Amino acid sequence: MAIMSGAELKESFQRMKPEVYARGERAEDVTEHPFLKPAFEARARFHDFMRDPKYKEKVTSISNVVPGEKIPNFVRLYDSAEYLVERFVTGRWVRRFFPRSGGSADSVNAVWATTYDCEKKYGTEYHERFKEFLKYVHKNGLTCSITQTDVKGDRSKRPIEQSDPDMFVHKVETRKDGIVVRGAKAHQSSSIHCHEIICMPTRRMREDEKDYSVGFAIPTNTKGLIQICGRQPSDLRRLEGMEIDWGMPQFGGTEAMVILDDVFVPWDRVFLNGEWDFTTGMMETFANVHRVIYALKCNLGDFLIGAAAQVAEYNGAAKASHIRSKLVDMVILNETMYCCGLAAASRGVKTPSGVWHDDPVLSNVVKNNVTKNMYEIGRLAEDIAGGQITTQPSEKDWRNPKTRPYIEKYLKGVDGVPTEHRMRMFKLIEFFTYGQGSTYSRAEAMHGAGAPEMQKVFINRMYDFESLKRLARMACGIEKQEYF
């Protein structure tokens, strides 16, 4: 069916009726619940965009698995090194128009590669099943989300040691036609507006944790799959009917806890089933291809830089040397993240499965920089903007005829700029530093795709320290080498 329009996308969820809760109630129509609607709106607009003749070439492709089928790039296989780089270049261009309208290419490409490896070793049919699943996704224009992070319970204990065995998703029953799984996945960005959920282990399992070594995909309206939305900073402003104080009305996203309450998964949707020695590979492969994409947090940095530069101008401070210096520092921090992403992609390698993956060490370098740089970018934006981010009166005060004249008069900056514009710009900065957008510019920058320590653990394990130690030994004369 090619690519759904925005309206079709919303209708598809109205038909599916996934079981979603938000702010203490079931969201009967997920596309209309005020906590969820902005995410659906943003996503719907992106679907229209993918069909717009002016833009569609950049963001859609022809499927590798369904001949001739037009598909969104976000379910595309990474079939060349060039495309790895290109997705960052396009990603930066596109996200400016459609923030938070993400995708799932990371998971598709990670599962593609690891099911392939597993099939090679054990003769399982996981890769074939996944290919069929991907065809189905491509043919029907579906959106997918990956769920990985288990709720984990007591972090000092392994899955099998927890007092409640359900702290990590696991198989509780094997039936003739499939398996039954139980558990919960935390922090699922975008799962609310996805048709399918791909589920994989969150950590390395041991031999005695075979039941925890499961991977699969299911539709989000599967019986027993329950999603409970998390709340975001200043989320209630969505209910106020105002616009300025919202900050960036076009932007929206959701995170949910995805509960699997004895959910049945048919065999053709099972991609890992007890092969515990492949959990590391599946988990890490996804982690690495997912971490690299955080380089595109520079898109959010772009908003903060633009807003800080703009508000400085509105304030009459755009030429102050310390303001220029801080703006440039923001640019350097932001472009450094982008650079790391481009670099990891440019050093990508072809996996045995045929898809290309970014350099794994550099992918972790990307993410770790993001966990620091985004915070510093935000801090600088707050510094440049000034205290009005926090002390600006409510939009309702501005709309109140009694107080409006005072606000119009006293919150004016340079001549020629309406007070309203200045107020809007402050609220945009608030949005990305303390507001809903900070969910993406800070919280997700920190913990999405794994906390900072996870990147360091990976680098510590994978980095070739041995060759550098040998280099040092040669340099100081302990080992001899021809060209020293």
Q: Which of residues 408-447 bind a copy of itself (CB under 8 A)?
A: 409-415, 421, 424-425, 427-428, 430-431, 434-435, 438-439, 442-444, 446-447
User: Is beta strand 270-273 parallel, antiparallel or unpaired with respect to 70-72?
Assistant: unpaired
Residue-by-residue DSSP string for 411-436: T--STTS-HHHHHHHHHHHHHHHTST
CB of 145: closest distance to a copy of itself in angstroms?
A: 14
CB of 23: closest distance to a copy of itself in angstroms?
A: 5
Helix axes 279-292, 360-385, angle to 10 degrees: 40
Among 244, 263, 265, 296, binds a copy of itself (CB under 8 A): 244
CB of 96: closest distance to a copy of itself in angstroms?
A: 6
Q: Would you give the binding string for a copy of itself spanning residues 171-200, x where CB under 8 A is met?
A: -------------x-xx-------------
Among 125, 240, 268, 277, binds a copy of itself (CB under 8 A): 240
* Spatial contact of 260 and 220, defined as CB atoms under 8 Å apart: no
Task: Pick the piece of the chain touching a copy of itself (CB under 8 A) from 113-121, 124-132, 192-200, 230-238.
Answer: 230-238
CB of 175: closest distance to a copy of itself in angstroms?
A: 24
CB of 200: closest distance to a copy of itself in angstroms?
A: 17
d(CA 295, CA 88): 8
Determine, following the binding rule CB under 8 A, whether residue 463 of this chain makes contact with a copy of itself: yes
Nearer to a copy of itself, 258 or 272 (CB): 258
Q: How many residues are there in the chain?
A: 484
Among 204, 228, 267, 280, binds a copy of itself (CB under 8 A): 228
Nearer to a copy of itself, 110 or 365 (CB): 365
Residues 102-141 that bind a copy of itself (CB under 8 A): none
CB of 70: closest distance to a copy of itself in angstroms?
A: 19
d(CA 452, CA 370): 9
CA Rg value for the chain: 24
Residue 214 main-chain phi, psi, to 5 deg: -125, 145
Largest CA distance in the chain: 84
- With b for 16 or more beta-carbon neighbours within 10 A and e for fewer, the 458-482 pattern comes to bbeeeeeeeeeeeeeeeeeeeeeee
Determine, following the binding rule CB under 8 A, whether residue 350 of this chain makes contact with a copy of itself: no
Determine, following the binding rule CB under 8 A, whether residue 1 of this chain makes contact with a copy of itself: no
Q: Would you give the binding string for a copy of itself spanning residues 308-327, x where CB under 8 A is met?
A: -xx--x-xxx-xxxx-xx-x
Residue 75 main-chain phi, psi, to 5 deg: -120, 20
Nearer to a copy of itself, 274 or 301 (CB): 301
Nearer to a copy of itself, 14 or 400 (CB): 400
Nearer to a copy of itself, 106 or 255 (CB): 255
- 309-to-245, 272, 323, 388, 440 alpha-carbon distances in Å: 20, 50, 8, 15, 21
Task: Pick the piece of the chain touching a copy of itself (CB under 8 A) from 7-15, 194-202, 267-275, 370-378.
Answer: 370-378
Residues 62-81 that bind a copy of itself (CB under 8 A): none
d(CA 367, CA 345): 13
Among 5, 12, 17, 45, binds a copy of itself (CB under 8 A): 45
Residues 150-169 that bind a copy of itself (CB under 8 A): 151-157, 163-164, 166-167
Nearer to a copy of itself, 64 or 189 (CB): 189
Task: List all residues 6 or more positions away from 251 whose beta carbon is below 8 Å from its beta carbon.
Answer: 38, 42, 99, 100, 431, 436, 437
Determine, following the binding rule CB under 8 A, whether residue 470 of this chain makes contact with a copy of itself: yes
* Spatial contact of 178 and 270, defined as CB atoms under 8 Å apart: yes
CB of 373: closest distance to a copy of itself in angstroms?
A: 10
CB atoms within 10 A of CB 415: 6
Among 340, 355, 370, 377, binds a copy of itself (CB under 8 A): 340
- Total residues interacting with a copy of itself, rule: CB under 8 A: 165
Task: List all residues 6 or more positions away from 220 whose beta carbon is below 8 Å from its beta carbon.
Answer: 16, 18, 145, 191, 194, 195, 196, 197, 227
Among 13, 40, 49, 294, binds a copy of itself (CB under 8 A): 49
d(CA 386, CA 430): 11
Task: Pick the piece of the chain touching a copy of itself (CB under 8 A) from 126-134, 199-207, 210-218, 374-382.
Answer: 374-382
Query: What distance lies between CA 8 and its chain's CA centroid?
Result: 23
Determine, following the binding rule CB under 8 A, whether residue 17 of this chain makes contact with a copy of itself: no
Nearer to a copy of itself, 138 or 442 (CB): 442
CB atoms within 10 A of CB 339: 16
